[in-house]
Amino acid sequence: MNLSDPVELAFSLRLARRDETALEEAYERYAPVVLAYVTRYVGRDEAEDVLQRTFLDVWRGASRYDPSQRFAGWLFTIAHHRAIDALRARRHVVVDVDAIHDLVGEDGRETMNRFADAADVRWAVARLPEHERTVLEMAYFHDLTQPEIAAHLRVPLGTVKARAARGTRRLGRILSDADPQG
């Protein structure tokens, strides 16, 4: 999060003041990715409950959120803790190794950071102009080549190349503006 960005700063301050619209915005932006993240740990049956507990904790702890820190990192830390709580609450004496296989590094931070980064990238891609976003999504999410994209969109190959180049540069700027360390 870039505190020089007035939108992000306003979001942080609204969240710290427990403004319900800030929580709604956070839920809209991050819930699908947080759900995917916690599902890897607790499975589909418990994932929705863990997601709801995560956002309840975000709401309860909003006054403790440090706006100089990356919101996604703070959110995924809470999600990670709620997933671990769900695993510990199971009646099993032994936790299934497959359930915690992805807990790598120091308390799973590597996985948590990958999901936080993915959420930020999806958020940034959504802010691109539609013609650039479409080209990048087709290339990176649908694994199409530029000639295939040109044929699908019925535009010249040069247009696809230009949109991809401009979109990639713009995406980099959006992400660097959102980086608190940047």
Answer whether CATH 3.40.50.800 is correct for domain 1-126. Answer: no
Q: How much is the pTM? A: 0.54
Positive or negative torsion for Cα 40, 46, 48, 49: negative
CATH class of the domain comprising 129-182: mainly alpha
Listed in sequence order, the residues at least 6 apart from 40 whose beta carbon sits closer than 8 Å to its beta carbon are 102, 111
Whole-angstrom Cα distance, residue 29 to residue 11?
12
Q: How is the chain split into domains, by residue range?
A: 1-126, 129-182
Mean pLDDT value of segment 144-154: 92
- Top-confidence residue, 181 or 74: 74
Predicted confidence (pLDDT) per residue in 92-146, tens digit: 555 555 555 555 444 556 666 777 777 777 888 888 999 999 998 888 878 889 9
C-alpha torsion 80→81→86→92, nearest 10: 100
158 against 2, higher pLDDT:
158
Encode pLDDT of 16-75 as tens digits: 788 888 889 889 888 999 999 999 888 888 999 999 999 999 998 888 888 777 788 888
Residue 147 amino acid letter: P
